[in-house]
Amino acid sequence: MQMDDRKMRVLTAVIEVYTHTGEPVGSKLVSEQMDVSSATVRNEMAALFNMGLLEQPHTSAGRLPSYTGYRLYLDQLMQTLPLTPKERGGVDALFNVRDPDPDKLLEDAAQALAQFTGCAAFTATMPPEAVTVKQVGILPSRSKAVVILIIASNGVVKSRVCRLDFALTPELLEIYNRFATATLVDKSLREISKIYLNSVAVSSGGYARVLTPILSGVYDLCQEISQGQFALSGEANLLSYKEFQPIAYEVLEFLGDRKNVLSLVQKAQGRTTVTIGRENSHPVLYDSAVVVTRYRIAGGATGAVGLIGPVRQNYAKMIPYLEYFSDTLGSLLAETYDEQQ
C-alpha cells in the first residue's frame, strides 16, 4: 500500500493530537483539523493501521501512533519549529554567568532542561583520550591533612582532601610536591594506573609509606577526570506520565546508575539522535523516548545533553530547543576551560 500525501497528513495529525492529549485519537477530531469528512479519515486511519503505523488499544477506541509511525514521522514528516527570540533569550539568560564552575554549570543546565521539558534531563562531558596532567599540587590543609589539586590539559580542575596518620612538616610537603611533579606532570590519564602509582611509590624508597595515601588520592582524581562530568535532574517528572507509572521503580533504578545513562550517549550517533520504544536496547525504556544532542567543547572534548521521557513528545519544538541549548552550553564550557588553562 502506498503512503500518499493524505495518509501522511492523517498520520501527522494523529501524532500531533496524541502528543497533546495522551489519549487515543478519533477520526472526528482529525477531520476537523484537516477539513475532510470523518468517513475519509476513518478509511485512511484503517489503512495506516494495516500498514503498522497506527495502533488501536481497544475495539471501540481511537487510534494511537505506533513506534513505526513515530519513526516515519521523525524521519520524513516532521517540520521543526525554530525558536522564538524570547526562547533564545531565555536560554542565553540561563547561561549568562561569570566565571562559572563547570560542575555547577552542568548541574544547573540539567535542572533547567528538566523544568522546561518535563522530562528527566542529563548533561555530560567526555574528555579526549589524550588528556594529560598539566599541574599537580599538594597543599597544606591541617597538621595531618593535605589538599591534592590536579589540573588536566583539557582545563578540568579537581581537588580532594587527603588525611594522613602523621604530622606534616614543610620539608616533607616540599618533597611531596617535587616528587609529584616529576612523576605525574605530562603523564596521560591512562598512564596513571594503579600499577604505575605502585611503581612510583616503590621508587620513592623510604617515602613509600607516607606517599601511598596521596598517590591513592591522585588515582581517584584522575579517574574522575577521565570519566568526564555528569549531572541528572528531573527523574521525578516521569511519575506524572501514566506510561511510566507501572514501571516507575524500574525506570528510577535505571536512571540511578550513571553508567546506564552514559551508555545512551555512547550509542547516540550524529548531531541529534532520537531513540523511541523498542529501538532502545534497555527493556526498561521500551515505552520511552531518548533524545540526545552532542556538542563539541575544545581540544577533542565533547559533551551531550539528553532527555528521557514518554514517546509522545513535541519533537518539532524540542529538538531545535535542545540543539540551541547544547550549543550555548558547549560554548560556555569551552570558554571556561580556556580560561583555566
- Quickly list DSSP for 36-72: S-HHHHHHHHHHHHHTTSEE-SSTTS-BEE-HHHHHH
Contact 291, 338 (CB under 8 A): no
Please tell me whether residue 190 adopts helix, strand or coil conformation: coil
Domains of the chain plus CATH, in order, are: 5-77 (1.10.10.10), 85-127+228-340 (3.30.450.40), 133-226 (3.30.390.60)
Q: What tens-digit pLDDT sequence spans the chain (341 residues)?
A: 678 899 999 999 999 999 888 889 999 889 888 888 989 999 999 999 999 999 988 766 789 999 999 999 999 999 999 999 999 998 988 888 766 677 788 899 999 999 989 999 999 888 777 888 999 999 988 778 889 999 888 778 889 999 888 887 888 888 888 888 999 999 998 899 999 988 988 888 777 777 888 889 999 999 888 888 889 999 999 999 888 888 988 999 999 998 899 888 888 877 899 999 889 989 999 989 999 999 887 666 688 999 999 999 999 999 999 999 999 988 888 776 665 55
Tell me how far apart the alpha carbons of residues 114 and 206 are, in angstroms, rounded to a whole number.
53
List 18's β-bridge partners, or say none: none
**pLDDT tens per residue across span 103-143:** 788 899 999 999 989 999 999 888 777 888 999 999 988 77
DSSP 200-239: HHHHTGGGHHHHHHHHHHHHHHHHHHHT--EEEE-GGGGG
Q: Measured between alpha carbons, how far is 297 from 309 in angstroms, rounded to an integer?
A: 26
pLDDT in tens, 241-253: 888 888 988 999 9
Grid-cell match 590519564, residue found: 189
- 285: which DSSP letter? G
Q: Per DSSP, which regions of the chain are E strands?
A: 54-55, 64-65, 120-126, 133-142, 145-152, 157-163, 230-233, 272-276, 288-296, 302-310
Q: Which residue has 594506573 as its cell numbers?
A: 193
Neighbours of 61 (CB within 10 A): 13
Query: Do residues 271 and 294 make contact, with C-beta atoms less than 8 angstroms apart?
Result: yes
**Residue 164 to residues 160, 178, 186, Cα–Cα distance (Å):** 13, 19, 26
Rounded to 5°, angle at Cα 124 from 262 and 241: 70
